[in-house]
Structures are given as structure tokens and as C-alpha cells.
Structure 1
């Protein structure tokens, strides 16, 4: 399956060291195929999603911490899902409320929860599988759209 042109991977965490580590790890694998952006808050993450999507980028993956000042990761992923339902959402956190994880699974179709410190190979595998899921959802949606047009 081909890469999605203008795809966006977004990492959201209030700790700069985590963000820079994630960005560097993702850039090594995906940097020549996708735009990789970082945000230090959920609010900034939503702004980036809105701005870049309005400029032709397709948000593919969000990797978000849970415990952040202001809007927590579960609230952020639920809001991102409301605006961009096809985005694959991963939560990467060292501390989390299990009820928040379940709420995010239920209300934001969260793809996976990964504990900090993370294993890079596991994270890359999760992203690869998430990208395949995204592409599959888009293809199914395109088939349904074509079917609906033919049958109207």
C-alpha cells in the first residue's frame, strides 16, 4: 500500500525531552514520507491539526501524553476524534487513570495505549499497523462512496 501524500504525524507532550526524543525516533523512520510535528499542549496540538489540515495536510497519527497541564490527553484525543474521526490515536504515558484510558477507547476510538518509557520498536510497529488501519478505513470509505454514487 502506498504512502499518503501530505500525511502528518503529530506528537503531543508537555515534556520537551520526550517530544524531541519522539520526533527524532519518528523522523528516522518516517521523515522522508510524512511531516512530523510536535506540540507542547493539547490546545497547541488542536491548532496544528486545524492549521495543517486547512493547508492540505492529512492528519494520520496522533501520539499524545495523558497527564498534561490544561486539557488532558483523553480530552484532547476525544476532541481530535470529533474533528478528524479517521486519525489513528495513540496514548503514550507513564501515569494514567484507567477510566480515562477506557473513556478514550470508547469515545475517541483510541488505537493503542503505550506506557512510558516506551520501546521504540513497539512504538514503530504500532504506528505501522495504525497507518495500515488508516489506509484501510480510507479505502473502505472510498468504495462506499463510489457504491453510493453508482446507486443514486
Structure 2
């Protein structure tokens, strides 16, 4: 994913990776505290600890201006609708995702369309 984003957007953005939802919360908090404008979070649904939908709902409650996209190998329609409603998630993509559609969603979320 990171390589795909770098291929599309180069060094225009800073890319951070977390291995689970709790680590991701820490990373976002640290970035915001350092004055970094976090624009978009791409999250997997199935992660150790916090699931992606729960993580994005927590992020949205704390940082409502951060946009999000959820990626899942386990399409749970109720979770997809919930994360769109409660976290303002722009899109939910199933694995394997369509790279063109995902990159277009990233462009839209980052106002690069």
C-alpha cells in the first residue's frame, strides 16, 4: 500500500504505518502534537486489538477533520455502514481492491482530484 501511494503521490505526503489500532492512535496523536496536518487515514478492518471501524470512529471523535478510508477482506455491511455514519469514512474497499478506484478515493480525500 505504501509503495502504491508513493508511486502515485511521491513525496507530496508523509506516510506512516502502524501494526495495530492502538499503535495507530499513538502515531496520530504524536503527529498532531508535532503540528503535522493529518489529512487521511487508510485503515484495514481486521487488526490486532481495535478493529478498523472502531479505530476510525475513535479517531473521528477526537479529530473530526481527518478523513478516512477502510479496507477489508471481510465485508461486513453493517460495519461498513456504521463506519461511514459514525466516522464519516469516505469509502470502504474490499480486498483485493481496485488500485485505480482506491487512488481516486485518496485523491478526493486529499483534495487532489
Superposition TM-score, scaled by structure 2 size: 0.93
Equivalent in the alignment of 1:26: 5
Q: Say yes or no: does 1:73 pair with 2:66.
A: no
C-alpha separation between the residues in 1 aligned to 2:86 and 2:59? 11
Q: Which contiguous aligned blocks of 4+ residues in structure 1 show a shift greater than 3 angstroms?
A: none
Higher percent of residues as strand: 1
Instruction: Give 3-state SS (helix, strand or coil) of 2:48's partner.
Output: coil
Q: Say yes or no: does 1:130 pair with 2:101.
A: no
Instruction: Give 3-state SS (helix, strand or coil) of 1:70's partner.
Output: coil
Shift of 1:51: 0.3
Instruction: Give 3-state SS (helix, strand or coil) of 2:47's partner.
Output: coil
- Over alpha carbons, which structure has the higher Rg? 1
C-alpha separation between the residues in 2 aligned to 1:82 and 1:124? 25
Q: Say yes or no: does 1:61 pair with 2:35.
A: no
Equivalent in the alignment of 1:103: 82
C-alpha separation between the residues in 1 aligned to 2:32 and 2:21? 16
Unaligned runs of 5+ in 2: none
Superposition TM-score, scaled by structure 1 size: 0.70
Q: Say yes or no: does 1:42 pair with 2:42.
A: no
Cα pair 2:32 2:38 within 8 Å, conserved = yes
Shift of 1:68: 1.6
